[in-house]
């Protein structure tokens, strides 16, 4: 039993979908209307979302219910972040930005080393032994990593041995780009399948 609101909603969604698709024919008022509606509604969504999923649970509830009054300090830093709206006192927001950037850099340095460099280097330290396909694959991996790093090495001209290794490196990189290209095409097509399914299943039931 589809009640009235569900049917109305589907028709509204179908109208908005076709309005955006109309950009394929040419840029037109319908597309501009849908695009501006998208920007406006997502901004409205974010405003409500920020209150209910950020400010209320992390500030208002703890302060009112558990009397955690020291939370006024981060709340203060948060509010002066909004001084960017007023050019005269916008410089105040630099303190909060400095604090968040400081945390970000501290996490980035420790994360990059412990979370990326150590495991990725360790994954390439493979002793090659035993005549089987796995050893062959490991050899190709090691050559790939070393030659890719050589390609992005800028302190030596790409001549002689370094030049040849860099050439192998760009070959590996082009294979990787080809693979990413194929996967990206796959990803974009899936989005279209999703919209076509909506149009011809929920709206006009051609697909059952």
Partner 1 sequence: MRREIPLAITFITSLIIIVSFFIPHAPFGTMQEISLKWYAIIAGFTMLLGVDSLIHMHSQKIKRKKSGWVYSVVLIVGFAVFVVAGTISGFRYGTAMDINSSFMYLYNYVIIPLQSTMFALLSFFIASAAYRAFRARNLDATLLLITAVIVMIGRVPIGNQIWHNFPAIAEWIMAIPQMAAKRGILIGISLGYIAVSLRIMLGIERSYLS
Partner 2 sequence: MNIFERIEKIDRRIIFLLVAIAVLLPLIFKVRMEIPISEPVKKAFVSVDTLSSGTYILISVDYDPASMPELQPMYKTLLMQCFEKGLKPVMIVQWPLGLPLSIKAMSEMAVEYNRIASKEGKDTVVYGVDYCNIGYRPGGVAQIVGIGKEIRDYFESDYKGTPLDSLPMMKDIHNYDNFALLFCLEAGSMGEMYVQYANARFGIKIIFGMTAVSAPDAYPYLQSGQIIGLLGGLQGAAEYETLMKKPGFATMGMTAQSWVHVLIVLFILLGNIGYFIGRKKRRS
Partner 3 sequence: MDRYRVVFLILMLFLSLSVYGDEKIAPNDIQETFSDTVLFSVKINPISNFKGEDIPNDAGQSIKLSWEVSDDKSVNFYKIFKSDSPDGPFNPIVQLTSKFRRYDDRDDIKDKKDYYYKIVVMDNKGGAIESDVYGPYRSYAQWFNKKRGIVLFLALLFGFFILYYMKKAKKDPNLFIRRISGLDALDDAVGRSTEMGKPIMYILGIGEITDLPTLAGLNILGDVAEKAFEYGSSIRVPCYDPVVMTTAQEVVKQSAYAVGRPDAFNKNDIMYITKDQFGYAAGCDGMMIREKPGAIFLQGTFYAESLILAETGHSVGAIQIAGTTTTHQLPFFVAACDYTLIGEEMLAASAYLSKDPDMVGTIKGEDAGKLIILLFILIMVLMGTLGHIFHISPIIKIFNAIVALFIQG
Q: Scanning residues 118 to 157, which ones bind partner 1 (CB under 8 A)? A: 120-121, 123-124, 137, 140-149, 151-152
The residue behind tokens 């969604």 is: 13
Q: Indicate which of partner 2, partner 3, partner 1, none lies near residue 197 (CB less than 5 to 8 Å, by partner kind).
A: partner 2
Of 27, 61, 89, 105, the one binding partner 1 (CB under 8 A) is 105
**Where does this chain bind partner 2 (CB under 8 A)?**
24-25, 42, 45-46, 49, 53-54, 56-58, 61-62, 103-104, 107, 111-112, 114-116, 118-120, 122-123, 141, 176, 179-180, 183-194, 196-197, 200-201, 206-207
Q: In the structure encoding, which two tokens stand for residue 171, read together? A: 């070959």
Q: How far is CA 180 from CA 83, 142, 183, 185, in A?
A: 42, 20, 5, 9
With b for 16 or more beta-carbon neighbours within 10 A and e for fewer, the 124-151 pattern comes to eeeeeeeeeeeeeebeeeeebbebbebb
**Where does this chain bind partner 3 (CB under 8 A)?**
23, 27, 35, 39, 109-110, 113-115, 117-119, 121-129, 132-138, 140-142, 145-146, 149-150, 152-158, 164, 167-168, 171, 173-175, 177-178, 180-181, 184
The residue behind tokens 């909004």 is: 82
Is residue 162 part of the contact set for partner 1 (CB under 8 A)?
Answer: no
| Beta carbons of 192 and 24 less than 8 angstroms apart | no
């Amino acid at each position: 039993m589809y009640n009235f609101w569900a049917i109305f909603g589907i028709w509204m969604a179908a109208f908005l979908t076709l309005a955006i698709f109309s950009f394929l024919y040419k840029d037109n008022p319908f597309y501009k209307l849908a695009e501006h509606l998208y920007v406006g509604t997502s901004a409205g969504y974010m405003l409500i979302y920020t209150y209910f999923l950020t400010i209320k649970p992390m500030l208002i509830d703890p302060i009112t219910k558990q009397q955690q009054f020291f939370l006024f300090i981060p709340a203060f830093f948060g509010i002066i972040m909004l001084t960017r709206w007023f050019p005269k006192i916008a410089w105040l927001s630099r303190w909060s930005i400095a604090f968040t950037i400081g945390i970000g850099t501290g996490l980035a340095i420790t994360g990059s080393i412990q979370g990326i460099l150590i495991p990725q280097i360790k994954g390439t330290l493979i002793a090659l032994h035993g005549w089987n396909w796995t050893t062959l694959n490991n050899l190709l991996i090691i050559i790939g990593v070393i030659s890719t790093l050589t390609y992005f090495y800028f302190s030596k001209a790409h001549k002689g041995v370094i030049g040849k290794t860099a050439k192998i490196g760009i070959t590996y990189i082009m294979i990787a780009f080809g693979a990413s290209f194929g996967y990206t095409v796959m990803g974009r097509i899936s989005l279209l399948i999703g919209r076509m399914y909506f149009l011809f299943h929920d709206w006009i039931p051609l697909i059952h």
